[in-house]
Amino acid sequence: MPSYRSYSDSELSYLLTQDDEQAFTEIYHRFYGLLFIHASKRLNDDEEAKDAVQQLFESLWQKRAQVQADGNLSAYLYTAIRHRILDIFSHQEVENKYVDSLQSFIDQEQEFTDYRVREKQMKALIEKEIDSLPPKMREIFLLSRIENKSHKEIAAQLGISELTVKTQVKKALKILRSKLGLLAYVVFLFKAA
């Protein structure tokens, strides 16, 4: 009986479709090195290339009945490894998009968290400064800016003139501007009645 090394690719293909393990072993030895070099050049990663070629041969054995007995085995194997390489690239691209998307989400979450912390700090600072206003001025200011009441409504509620309300709100804004700076002042200014 002749050695499997002497068989042609098409003879080996036929024997493979007949569940011949020695034919499979010869195909493996004949093509492994060439397929590995091809995959390694494309992937620039020897480990990934080894995995791709190994998976190709596993698939070849599992699908041996589908191999064309009189087909071009070399072309079949190179086409199969090319598809595996493209799948790896496609998978890497999806992975990279996922990682980029995840990083973007993390960055946005971090920015949002930072914003919320700054917002809470600013709110606490503003509340502290409002609490330090003289009692009547604080009451008028809170009715104006927090409860959004008009000067007329505040005057009626407290039994004072609208001019007094207006003056007290202006003084409160002036004090807050000097203590908190322009940003807080602008926040309250936009709520002006």
Q: What is the pLDDT of residue 9?
A: 87
Mean pLDDT along residues 119-125: 75
- The percent of the chain in helix, strand and coil, each rounded to the nearest 5, is 85, 0, 15
The tokens describing 78, both together, are 């190179």
Please tell me what DSSP assigns to residue 108: H
Which pLDDT tens digit goes with each residue over 134-160? Answer: 889 888 888 887 788 888 998 999 999
Which pLDDT tens digit goes with each residue over 63-72? Answer: 888 887 677 8
- pTM for the model: 0.48
CATH assignment, 132-189? 1.10.10
Which phi-psi region, left, alpha or beta, contains residue 181 (left: φ > 0; alpha: ψ -120 to 50)? Answer: left
Residue 22 has pLDDT above 60, yes or no: yes
Residue 58 has pLDDT above 90, yes or no: yes
Fold of 4-98: Rna Polymerase Sigma Factor; Chain: A (1.10.1740)
The three state secondary structure string of 46-87 is HHHHHHHHHHHHHHHHHCHHHCCCCCCHHHHHHHHHHHHHHH
Residues of the chain within CATH 1.10.10 domain(s) are 132-189
Residues of the chain within CATH 1.10.1740.10 domain(s) are 4-98
